[in-house]
Every structure is written in structure tokens, then in C-alpha cells.
């Protein structure tokens, strides 16, 4: 059985942390799109946003996702929080990955996790909590459109979330 799993969700929902553990548990390669983009861009996402703007960043993100979706082979992919903003990315996720998991966390839960972060360009605003609520309102329907499954991240530990995803993968058709 081929396992191509992509994790989508708000910034700070746990995609990278959970993805890394999930890949380890399944014995699969782990790809963090944000990390790979920073390597390719030669700078941090924050710096790229400042120098070139969000649309230019989204162009690079879309190109990388198309490349990863077209690859064959098993993987666990952690996407950037805004990857679902473009319709072609939502389509690439659904077509290129057998399992797209939306790690759903409320804006208030996310704020508790990321409030001290200086590396999230969209949260470097006067009221990051209000910004998270605004992003959530816009993105939640898009994450749901892209995802095959919604995983509520609420209070569970990383290990519990990984167990929940593994169970979902085992119950999936063709597993």
C-alpha cells in the first residue's frame, strides 16, 4: 500500500511536529515544505515575504507543491499554513496525496502555542490573536475542501495525534 500523507492546517497547528513523528512511526520520508522552501529561496520565509511579498512566495510554494504531488513514492508532507489559498494547490493535494489530514485547532489554541514566535510573518501584527481569528475564518473552509480527514488537535499530545492519524490511515479504503 502506498502512503502519501499531507498535513494541512493553520500556522502553529502542529503540522511539522506531528508530521515528523508520524513519518518516524511509519518509517517514511518526511518533507517540511516551509523548510524546503527556505533552502531553495536561500533565506527565511519572513525575509522573502519582506523583500518580495506574499504573492511571489505563494508562486514558489505552488511550484514546489506541484513538484511534490507529481513525485511517486511514500512520504509525509507538512505544508505551509497558506498552501490552501490557491485552488490549484487544493487540487494538487487531493490528487497527489492519498491522505490529506487537516490538523484543526481553534485560533485561541493556536495563539497560546505561537504567541511568542517571531518567525511567522503573517502574525507580526499589532493584534496577532485577531489576525489568527481572521485567518481561521478564511482558511477553515479551504482546509476542509483540501482534506480527506479532519483531526481535532485540541488538547492531545503529539503522540496521541500521531496515533489518531495512524488509526485513520489503517481504516482508510485500500489500507
Q: Which residues are annotated as a binding site?
A: 12-17, 34, 58, 81, 120, 139
Contacts of 28 (CB under 8 A, 6+ apart): 3, 5, 74, 75, 76
Q: Angle, nearest 10°, between helix axes 54-70 and 45-52?
A: 130
At a CB cut-off of 8 Å and minimum separation 6, what does 25 contact?
Answer: 162, 166
Residue 38 in grid coordinates: 527556505
Alpha-carbon distance 10 to 151, whole Å?
A: 12
User: Which residue ranges make up the annotated binding site for substrate?
Assistant: 34, 58, 81, 139
Binding-site members for Mg(2+) are 16
Residue 81 has phi, psi (to 5 degrees) of -60, -30
**In whole angstroms, what is the distance from residue 96 CA to residue 129 CA?**
33
- In the annotated binding site for ATP, the residues are 12-17, 120
Amino acid at each position: 500500500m502506498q502512503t502519501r500523507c499531507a498535513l494541512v492546517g493553520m500556522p502553529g497547528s502542529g503540522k511539522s511536529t506531528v508530521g515528523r513523528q508520524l513519518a518516524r512511526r511509519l518509517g517514511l520520508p518526511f518533507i517540511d515544505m516551509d523548510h524546503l522552501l527556505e533552502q531553495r529561496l536561500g533565506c527565511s520565509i519572513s525575509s522573502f515575504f519582506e523583500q518580495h511579498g506574499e504573492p511571489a512566495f505563494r508562486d514558489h510554494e505552488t511550484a514546489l507543491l506541484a513538484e511534490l504531488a507529481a513525485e511517486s513514492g511514500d512520504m509525509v508532507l507538512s505544508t505551509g499554513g497558506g498552501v490552501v489559498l490557491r485552488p490549484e494547490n487544493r487540487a494538487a493535494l487531493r490528487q497527489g496525496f492519498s491522505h490529506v489530514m487537516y490538523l484543526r485547532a481553534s485560533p485561541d489554541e493556536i495563539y497560546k502555542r505561537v504567541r511568542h514566535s517571531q518567525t511567522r510573518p503573517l502574525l507580526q501584527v499589532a493584534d496577532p490573536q485577531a489576525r489568527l481569528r481572521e485567518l481561521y475564518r478564511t482558511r477553515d473552509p479551504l482546509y476542509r475542501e483540501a482534506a480527506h480527514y479532519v483531526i481535532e488537535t485540541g488538547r492531545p499530545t503529539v503522540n496521541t495525534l500521531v496515533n489518531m492519524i495512524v488509526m485513520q490511515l489503517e481504516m482508510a479504503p485500500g489500507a
